[in-house]
Amino acid sequence: MSDIGARVARLVRPEVRALSAYHVQDASGLVKLDAMENPYSWPEDLRQEWLERLRDVPINRYPDPGAHALHQCLREHLRLPAAAGLLLGNGSDELIQMVLMAVARQGASVVAPVPTFVMYELIARTLGMEFAGVPLADDFSIDLPAMHEAIRVKRPAVVFLAYPNNPTGNLFDAQAMESILQAAPGLVIVDEAYHAFALQSFMDRLARYDNLLVLRTLSKQGLAGLRLGMLCGDPAWIAELDKLRLPYNINILTQVSVEFALTHAQVFDAQTARIRTDREQLSGALGKLPGVRVWPSAANFLLFRTGRTAKAVFEGLRRRGVLIKNLAAAGGVLSECLRVTVGTPEENRLFLDALSQTLESSDSSVQPG
């Protein structure tokens, strides 16, 4: 082993060296339907008004460390109860990291139904915590007896419930989730990243459960590049987590831009409504293709299986200029599954055409084993 290799092995914790970095595919020149983004840009008049607002931003100065004006705008936007606390992060990922950093100690564990958002496990393991994934049922519902058993045995510091779940797209049964809230000895984080497409929330249960925190983001509503996440819950939790927030974690361009965007919320509401309509149309068209099974979704993406190997279909689509997500490597209920983001009508058409051509060609002729 070289000197640098030995030094890395000596200094970097084993649980970190055992991880793989989060990989983002290169989408250059492709129809990008792999990352659950809002495909619509801002209207030109709105863009010009925004740029005028940014013209006078003092980028030579640090931003408001508490983002006070943005906090107030978001409280109104979220219809947050007056008694609830609010913490902002550089995307949801930073907030997940803050929560787990606060509770990470020897023997601490995290429980979540799996498959789910990969960052729960990645961050937990980075911090030396045990991650216990409880497999979903074949219909992607929570295996409630298995979850209760995991909670009884592991006594987790945190339980994550994505609502709707990524990558399956379904909403878990609300009564099952409340049962988990009642059984959990620690925090339960309900991650509502796709709330704009599901229109279902646990926000109104914050006063009922003192171990509940609700996680939101504006990324899926058209502001992914600004990286803003929101964590809502009892002020006692928020006060402790805020101690882990790095100074000035919400940059001044994000603060000003989100404040501006929230004054035009109707534009983004109209876009998400369009995506919900297009989701149903895309699902219907996808389900009519020979051999394709598509699952219902409450998010802005669709999970599907073609009867062919996912790798061959993924590569066939890429050769035809369309990038989606191949989930087959996860195995289990995701065996040979693919996930496509709902795009614009034109992007959806290009995807369907490319998929039809791929399925008809020899590109994907190998059947899954």
Mean pLDDT, each 10-residue run in order, the chain (369 residues): 82 85 81 96 95 95 95 94 94 97 96 97 95 96 98 98 97 98 98 96 95 96 94 98 96 97 96 97 97 97 96 96 95 95 98 96 57
d(CA 134, CA 180): 13
Q: Are residues 215 and 93 in the same domain?
A: yes
At 259, list the tokens.
Answer: 């404040």
Q: Is residue 138 part of a domain?
A: yes
Residues 270 and 155 in one domain: no
The verdict on 129 and 177 lying in the same domain is yes
Residue 57 belongs to a domain: no
Whether the predicted model's global pTM rises above the 0.85 cut: yes
Q: Which of 331, 320, 10, 313 is nearest to 167 (CA)?
A: 331
Single out the residue in 236, 263, 290 at which a domain terminates. 263
Nearest C-alpha neighbor of 135 from the set 125, 124, 149, 123: 149
Q: Is 55 among the domain residues? A: no
Rounded CA-CA distance 293/272 in Å is 25
Q: Which residue has the tokens 């299986």?
A: 305
Q: Report the phi/psi class of residue 140: left, alpha or beta, with left for phi > 0 and alpha for psi in -120 to 50.
A: left
Q: Regarding beta strands 109-114 and 187-191, do their DSSP bridges make them parallel or antiparallel, or are they unpaired?
A: unpaired
* CA angle 66–200–206, rounded 5-degree value: 50
> Which range of residues forms the domain containing residue 276?
3-42+266-364
Of 218, 245, 263, the domain-final residue: 263
What would the two tokens of residue 295 be?
């699952």
At residue 369, the pLDDT reads: 45
